[in-house]
Amino acid sequence: MAPGRPDRPGPLRRAHRPAGSAHPGHPGPVGGGVTRPGEIEVLRAGALTTVQDLGRPGWAHLGVPRSGALDPAALRLANRLVGNPEDAAGLEITLTGCAVRLTKAATVAVVGAEVAVRAGERPGDTGRPLSMPAGTVLRVGPARHGVRSWLAVTGGIDVPLVLGSRATDTLSGLGPRPLRDGDRLPLGVPVGEPPSVDSTVGPPPRSALHLTLRLGPRDDWFTPTALDRLLGTAYTVSPLSNRVGARLAGATLPRTVAGELPSEGIVLGAVQVPADGQPLIFLADHPTTGGYPVIGVVSDVTPLAQARPGTTVRFHGPQR
């Protein structure tokens, strides 16, 4: 199954609508008409900015992906820096950055890709809590290294829960849709004070990823040559990658079994091989079933959250 990104409407409202009014066909922000602890106004949404928390695992039997932040540790850190619970919802910002305005004073933190951060006219740093007076514009610049950043705000983003999560699922359309210029997002009530930390140091960007692979369940559908290629040659991340999956380009993986199998379960990190023989690693918004054979499963897909097109990927294994 090829990655996709349906653009469904979600429970957001446009900036020109009065507080508490509903987005057409949707209920509007939580507690419409009630005084909120503050809002985020989206001035520039960028290429793809979504609301993400730690996702909604446990619903695969109903065909619902886990979704959530592609790098959960980065979101947890951003939340800790502003005094939020680690599972509070924040923004996942992709590649081109974004700009938002806060209607009330708050503390923010940006963690992830190497980006320029400005709080009004003040320069800021990633991995560092920033105090934002009411009305201040926060600008997150394009990623110089890496792909994605996670923005946490005091109180978290308080859009409605869907199956226990506020995460945007770009495959199924659950949760709020990807942000657009002019959207407003309600903030929750702060529950703690930001910790006394000046900054954190993130890992250096990686030019090559080494991913541990556990073979199966359908590695027997492939020739010995295919397994040698998968484990012995380098692949590169394709520009067609997204939150559903990281498409790879490189040596094709020939099969011993022709035709397709009935759809079967897909898990995070599954390496599926479509008809073109090029592997695809499923990420947070992956489908729960698929009909192409899965040659193996990657144990940790987190490094792929920052993998730009052209990044080298090597698999190590096999382990069953």
Residue 200: what pLDDT?
Answer: 66
The pLDDT confidence band at residue 193, using thresholds 50, 70 and 90, is confident
Q: What is the pTM of this model?
A: 0.87
* pLDDT above 60: residue 3: no
Give the span between the Cα atoms of 210 and 302, in whole angstroms: 12
What mean pLDDT comes out for the span 195-208?
Answer: 68
What mean pLDDT comes out for the span 274-288?
Answer: 96
Residue 311: what pLDDT?
Answer: 96
CA distances to 2, 42, 284, 300 from 217, rounded to whole Å, are 20, 44, 20, 17
Cα–chain center distance at 85 = 18
Task: Give the burial class of 280: count Cβ atoms within 10 A of its Cβ; 0-12 exposed, 13-18 middle, 19 or more buried.
Answer: buried
pLDDT 10s digits, 20-34 = 333 333 333 433 445
* pLDDT above 50: residue 227: yes
Residue 143: what pLDDT?
Answer: 96
Residue 57: what pLDDT?
Answer: 94
Proportion of the chain above pLDDT 70, given as a percent: 85
Spatial strand order in the sheet of 48-52? 48-52, 90-94, 145-153, 106-114, 130-132
Give the span between the Cα atoms of 34 and 127, in whole angstroms: 33
Lowest-confidence region among 163-172, 222-231, 234-243, 255-264: 255-264
The better pLDDT of the pair 194, 288 is held by: 288
Give the span between the Cα atoms of 131 and 241, in whole angstroms: 35
- Cβ count near 128 (within 10 Å): 16
* pLDDT above 60: residue 228: yes
Give the span between the Cα atoms of 170 and 163, in whole angstroms: 15
The CATH code belonging to domain 208-319 is: 2.40.100.10
* pLDDT above 90: residue 259: no
* pLDDT above 60: residue 233: yes
The structural domains of the chain, with segments of one domain joined by +, span: 13-186, 208-319
Lowest-confidence region among 13-27, 133-147, 154-168, 175-189: 13-27
